[in-house]
Every structure is written in C-alpha cells, then in structure tokens.
Amino acid sequence: MGWLTSLTSFFVNPAMVLPGVALASAPVIIHLINRMRYRKIRFAAMEFLFASQKRNRRRLLLEQLLLLLMRILLVLLIMFLLARLVLDPEKMSLFRGAKTHHVVLLDDSGSMREQIGETSAFLASVEIVQKLVSEGRQRPDSQKLTLILLSNPTAPLVNQENINDELETRLETRLENLVCTHQHFDLTNGLQVAADLLANDTESIKHLHVISDFRRRDWSDEDAISKRVAALGADDVTVNLVKVVPKQNNNIAITTLDGSLRVAAASVPITFRVGVTNYGETTIAKLSVSVFADGTQISKSVELSEIEPGQEEIGELEVSFNTPGRHSIKVSTDVDTLSQDNERYLVFDLPSELPVLVVDGAGGSDASRNLVDALEAGDCAYKPETQDPTFLRKFPLDKFRTVYMLNVGILQPDAVDRLQEYVAGGGGLVWFMGDRIEDNYYVAELYKIQQRFGDRIGLFPAPLGETAVELSRPEFTNPGADLAFEPISIFAKFKEYFRSSYFNVIRIKKYYPLRADWSEDDKVRKDGVQTIARLRNNKPLCLVHEFGEGTIVTFLTGADDEWNNWTGDPAGLSFLATIHDMQKQISSRVGVSRQRMVGEPIHAEIDLTKYSKTVEIVAPGAPPVALEAGPKDADSTDLVDAGSMDAKTSDDTSKTDSAKTDSDSDSAPKTAKSNVYFANYADTDFPGVYSIKLTTLDRETEETTFAFNVPPEESELKLADTDDIRKVLGDEATVQIQEPGNFSWLEGKEADQEIRHFLLACLMFFLLAEQLLAYKLSYHPKSSGTDT
C-alpha cells in the first residue's frame, strides 16, 4: 500500500481521499439501477424502433458513457476541492490537521555564528522559530511545540506546550536572550533525542523541523543519519529540513598555537608555532597574524604566504619573557564571516630554570660529565643535577623535567616504584648502557612489570642480550656512518641532523644487542615500541615507547668514549643537537600549559586542611563567580573522573600538592577523602583565558589559568546542497527540504491555493457541460396545441 501513502501525501486533508474515490462510483450505480427500472413489452411497431436503434446505437452509447464520465469527474473534482489537492507536497503548509506536534531541533553550534549580511545564521534560525510560533498561534488548541537546542537536546527549552498568545510572548523573551555557542555537536544525537520524544506521542500529527546551516561535515556519517531519518519516517514523522545559509563563504582559521614549552624558561627565547588553515576555495596570497604577549601586542608578527585551499600553513616566532611565572600568548588575524576562529589563546608557566636529574651508576664517570656538558651548552636553562641511584629512593622526582639513567645496575624496588610513578605522571626518562648493566634484572624487573600498571612493557622497552658486543668495521673501506635515525614523527628532526657531516664521523664501538626471540620489525611486533635509530648492520640502537603519560628513550650504547665517539669532537655537536631536541619531545609536561576546547567543564579538588571551600572563577569578559565546593557525590564523581580523563588526553598538565584541577594527570585512580571537596564550573563556552582562584587558610590566593579555544571542526563552512542531502538520506526517505528564504511551509498562504482556483473553474465548467448534455440526451415531448 506504499502507492496509496504516496498518493495521499498530495492532499492537505488526506482523510477525505478514500471516501471521495468510493463516492465516485455513485453515478455508475445510479446508471445501472436506472437500466433495471424498465420492463420489456413487445408490440408491432417495435420492429421500426429496433431498426432506428441499430442505426443510432453507437452514437447513443458514446453519449451515455460521456455523460457518465462527466458525472464521475464532477464527484472527483468535489473530492479534490474538499481534500485540497497539492501538486508539490514539499510546498504544503505543515499547519494542518486536528492536533499537530511540532518538534524544532535548533542548531546552535559554532558555525551558526557565521555572518549573513546584517545578521547571523543563528539569528535567522531564531526568526524562523518565531514565525513558526506566530503561525501556530492562529490555530488555537490545535498546535503544540517542543523546542530543542542541539547543544543540550535532553533539556528542551519548550516541552510539548500548546502554541498560543501566552507561549508566544514568553518565548519571545527567551529567544532574544538565547546565545549561540562556540562548540561542535553531533547532529545524530539531536535527531535521536527528537525521535525518542516523538515516539511517545501517539495522538498527534508529528513534524520534526531541523533548522541548521547544514554543513557538509555534519553529513559525513551517512549511515547514522540515514538510519535516524528512516526511523522517524517509519514512526509517521514528517521531517522538515530548513536551511538558513544561502551560499558558501570563504573562511580562514587559526588552528594551531603551541611552542617549545617543555624546555621553556624565563629569559630564554621560546619558539611559538602558529598555524592558519584556509577553509575557502581560493588561495590566500599573504596573511599577517598579530601576536599579543601577556595582553600587549608585540612589534613582531607571524607572516604567512600562499595558503592553498584546504591546507594549513605554519609560521614561527620567537618571544622571550624576562620573568618566571604565569604568562599568556594570544594570536589573531583579520575578521571574516566567522570571527570566532580568528583568535587563539595559550597560557603557560615559566620556571627560572629546568632541573634535570642525571643518575650515574658508576659515580662521577665520563658519561655523566659528557651529558652535563651537552645539557648546559647553548642558550638554555637546563640545570643538571648528578646523583647516584640511591637518590631515587630518598627524594621526590616531580621537579625534574627529565631523568637520565647512565650505566645503572640493579635498582631497589622502591626506586623502581618512584620511577614508574614519575614517568606515568608525564615525566621523561632516558637510558644509556654501561658495564654495570645486568641483563637478567632488566628483563625480569624493568622490561615486564606486573604491579600497579598491569602486565605490559615497563620502564625498559625490550629484552637485553647477555653481554655487549662490538660493532665490526671493515679495515680498508669506508662504510659511512655507524648509525642512522628513522623518520619517526616526534624525532623527525633527527633525520635532518643525520644529513649533516657530523654524523658521518660517528663511530659506535660497543652496543647491547637484543634477544633473538624479540622481533626487530616494529610492524610485526606491534607492542608500541618504535625504533628511532639503527646501526650500520641494521640492529636497533635507539628505541622509544610510552609509559603512562610519559615518554622513555633507550640508547643501547653508552655515553662515553669506551662505547662510542658520539660525545667527543667533532661528532659531539650531533650529540648535543640530539640531546637538546630530545628534551623538547620528552620533558615532563607538568606545570607547563593548560589548553582546553570551549565547553569542557573545569573541575577542582580542594583540600580543606589548606584551602577555603570557596572557589572563585573568572571567565573572559565576565565578573568573578564564587562557587562553594562540596563533598563528592554520585554526580560529582563522574565529573571528577571525566576531568582525570581529560587530563590524560590533554597536551600539558598542572598540579600542586594540595589543590588539584582537571589538569591533574595522576595515573592511579582518585579516592574520596573526607577533607577533600569538589567544585565544578561548566560555563566555558566563550574562548579566552579562564582562571581559578583558591584562598589558603592563611588568606593567600593561589591562581590556576586555562586557555579555552574553539574547535577547528566548526571552521569548515562547506555546505551540503539539496542533492548531497538527498544522496545521504536515500531515495526512499520522505523529507521536505526548505531552501533559505522559503517560508511558504509555515506561512498562512497554503500551497494549494492556485490549484484550488483551477479546480473550481473546472467544476463550474463540467457542471454546465453535464447539464447541457443531460438535457440533450433526455426525452422532451413537444406540447400539443389547443383545438379551436
């Protein structure tokens, strides 16, 4: 019966179609009944009548059929008028029927802030909602409204309320105060919530109006969207897609802002990277990006050229800060139709120096001296501290950016635990071999661990062979450099160093091989360990792997002349370059930078033995907000856990001993304590710098700042045209798509008015024709004259 459903979609009042079709059989029935009313009586003169009938039979039959068809057509025309035929169902007004439920899914994602002339896409959408309510008000007690925001679909602004004067007045104020977000949302989630809500309404005609800018990226998950729309259609829901953006505009966005903050310190130049993506369809010939340091614009800017469509261009700029402490960087460029992505923020803490721990297993060896010399060379703030392995058991490691383990033999279990906690929390660890290495201990205690972190690769990446071996070298030929770095992503610059002449003179004398049952092919092994350097004989020399939040680099050779000449002249320059670049990649992220995406909540833990439970939040351009922290409950447990998860995926983290925020990156799960309270702040939609201020019991203020930026997904402004949408939904989907500026679907002017006038004219014509033909075919005896 699909054809019948499709047929009735052409009528405003489809309930009258089937009765009208049935009524069209009435003229046929009346005609048959009339034929049964006569009795056949034969008489002499009848033969003459039969002869006359035979001569005129065909003409009479055609005239009778024509009259019958005209009467059937008249009945159908009356049915078309009453059912209100519409030739184009997509132009049909949706305000029809006895009781109609309108669910409006209003897109308030970041791209809806795009300027369209004197207004924005979001304000245009709000105007459509107001028009819908105004039209529904003209049909009292027959229309009800549910208004859902894509940013929070489970909490409707209006929930199944009758559309009347009171609702229009109340909603007008709410819509005027409604602000579009800067965030990115999934359209399928909103469709699912709307579908669930409409599924519970079994008494109304159901319409879902999706008012959006319909960007192509929102329709990338074709399967999910088509399934949602198909389910709505199966539930007799009319899906009405309302576009608000008439044309696609070019857009550029600042999508990257970072720097070498792991090795940054006061008075040391910091290299910042600024990336601008061209989301338009034309090449950007030249672009200047302004830079603001601690709120003041600096004289230098980032100059970019030739940004191709769909490409990101990276520029660099060096900035120095003379004082340690908290600092910020803001970059901005010229405003276009979407201004929110023309700025980006970065906040960070600068220390006065960068502590590095060098653990020397041999005590005062050449290896530790070579490493210290390399760290202290150049314009940097490294402060290496050389200690023996017992230091690991006695003192905390949190202050060190990196820990170097040189020729360290057997460690005590508590020292291993401290190293595990340090690296898992984001610290960097580097191994160098030596004659004190115990291969069996390294395999049993450092390679595989079965303690707090599960049965997986531990602090050491691979099983060592029994003893170190020498790298043979041909006596009369020059085989070239003894090692080569692989182009691994985080150590890509090593490949550039290898091209220099300094690497050609490197000689690796001894190294530790790995056990034969350990595959040297990273793709075969698939254990997360990457080979970043190999020897001339293709054996691994340098490995890297992740442990918790930290990174571990392992050199299977030593750091002194007994093992190689890498630390001496002239090869020592390549060693210095390698160490300094490695520091940028693996140094601890603790206390460096705090970046978030708008919309992510801020969670804080407050130790009441040291802090007041009042938390002050300062948002961009807003007055301070005071929050009262409370004990952990069912809701705040999820929030705090979510904060921990956020920290594990963020670039950089921050923590103190007593007060923590969601930037904490502790690997162990948090446990509730009676003296620990929690605070949550969720109103982080606007980009900029947010600060959390805690007050100690001594009335001193401690502040933590976060930089919130807009998601790059909302900068992609490519539109999905009607054909794209139809392709995603499939041919079987029954949806209406309203082009920008088309309001016929909600205006009082029905789309069937023009065809109604035509049908009325046809009805009058055929009524007159039927009467004339009936008169002609009927018998009219001439009246007899009066005898005189």
Closest CA to 755 of 24, 135, 9, 83: 83
Residues 219 and 310 placed together within one structural domain of the fold: no
Instruction: Check whether residue 444 and residue 531 sit in a common domain.
Output: yes
CATH code at position 737: 3.40.50.410
The verdict on residue 785 lying in a domain is no
Which SS3 state, helix, strand or coil, does residue 539 take?
A: coil
Residue corresponding to tokens 């099983």:
463
- Burial environment of residue 642 by CB neighbours within 10 A (0 to 12, 13 to 18, 19 or more): middle
- Helix (H, G, I), strand (E, B), or coil: what is residue 6? helix
The better pLDDT of the pair 652, 437 is held by: 437
Please tell me whether residues 419 and 546 are part of one structural domain.
Answer: yes
Confirm whether 203 is domain-assigned: yes
Whether residue 124 is found in the same domain as residue 25: no
In this structure, the answer to whether residues 567 and 695 fall within a common structural domain is no
Q: How far apart are CA 408 and CA 10, in angstroms?
A: 84
Whether residue 388 contacts residue 363, with contact meaning beta carbons closer than 8 Å, is answered with yes
Q: Which of 96, 150, 146 is nearest to 122 (CA)?
A: 150
Q: Angle 222-234/187-199 helices, nearest 10 degrees?
A: 20
Q: Residue type at 471?
A: L
Higher local confidence (pLDDT), 499 or 708: 708
Q: Which domain holds residue 455?
A: 354-586
How does residue 98 score in pLDDT terms, banded at 50, 70 and 90? Answer: low
Q: Considering only CA atoms, which of 522, 550, 588 is closest in space to residue 453?
A: 550
Decide if 783 is inside a domain.
no
Asked whether residue 784 is assigned to any structural domain, the reply reads no
Whether 141 and 283 share a structural domain: no
The number of folded domains in the chain is 5
Residue type, 746: L
Distance CA 728, CA 226 (A): 6
Asked if pLDDT for residue 450 goes beyond 50, the answer is: no
Strand partners, 211: 106, 242
Does the pLDDT at position 401 exceed 50? yes
Q: Are strands 312-319 and 270-278 parallel, antiparallel or unpaired?
A: antiparallel
Dihedral over alpha carbons 48, 51, 54, 55 (to 10 degrees)? -100
Spatial distance between the Cα atoms of 294 and 322, rounded to a whole number of angstroms: 12
Angstrom distance (rounded) from CA 114 to CA 340: 9
User: Is 782 inside any structural domain?
Assistant: no
- Other Cβ atoms less than 10 A from the Cβ of 782: the count is 5
Same domain for 694 and 723, yes or no, is: no
Cα–Cα distance measured from residue 517 to residue 520, given in angstroms and rounded to the nearest whole number: 9
Range 201-209 average pLDDT = 88
**CA nearest to 92, candidates 752, 735, 734:** 752
User: For 502, which DSSP code?
Assistant: G
Residues 100 and 156 in one domain: yes
- Euclidean distance between CA atoms 754 and 416, whole angstroms: 85
Query: 76 Cβ partners below 8 Å, 6+ apart?
Result: 20, 21, 24
Determine the pLDDT at residue 9: 54
| Whether residues 291 and 412 fall in one domain | no
Using one digit for the tens of pLDDT, what is the confidence trace for 519-575? 999 989 888 899 988 998 899 999 999 998 899 999 999 999 999 988 876 555 778
**pLDDT tens-digit series, residues 128-177:** 999 999 988 887 778 899 999 999 999 999 999 999 999 999 999 999 99
Determine which of 95-104, 255-264, 416-425, 612-621 has the lowest per-residue pLDDT on average: 95-104
Q: How many other CB atoms sit within 10 Å of the CB of residue 535? A: 19
Q: H helices then E strands: how many in the chain?
A: 18, 35
- pLDDT recorded at residue 223: 86
Q: For residue 249, report the phi and psi dihedrals to the nearest 5 degrees.
A: -110, 155
Are 209 and 299 part of one and the same domain?
no
61-73 per-position pLDDT tens digit? 787 788 788 888 8
CATH number of the domain that 323 lies in? Answer: 2.60.40.10
Tell me the average pLDDT across 274-280.
95
- Whether residue 143 lies inside any domain: the answer is yes
pLDDT band at 43 (very low <50, low <70, confident <90, very high): low
Residues 6+ apart with CB under 8 A from 107: 125, 150, 185, 187, 190, 210, 211, 212, 213
Determine, yes or no, domain membership for 786. Answer: no
Q: For 556-700, where are the E strands, in sequence order?
A: 595-597, 602-607, 611-618, 625-628, 660-661, 676-681, 688-696
Find the Cα–Cα–Cα–Cα dihedral 630, 632, 635, 638, rounded to 10°.
Answer: 130
Tell me the per-residue pLDDT of 466-491, one tens digit each, with 9 for 90 and over.
999 999 877 666 667 787 777 665 55
Do 457 and 374 fall into the same domain? yes
What element of type H or E holds 496?
A: helix 492-498
CATH number at residue 454: 3.40.50.880
Do the beta carbons of residue 162 and residue 141 sit within 8 Å?
A: yes
Mean residue pLDDT across the chain? 83
Tell me whether residue 674 is in a domain: yes
Angle between helical axes of 46-83 and 753-777 (0-180°, round to 10): 170
Amino acid at 270: I
Query: In terms of domains, do 70 and 107 share one?
Result: no
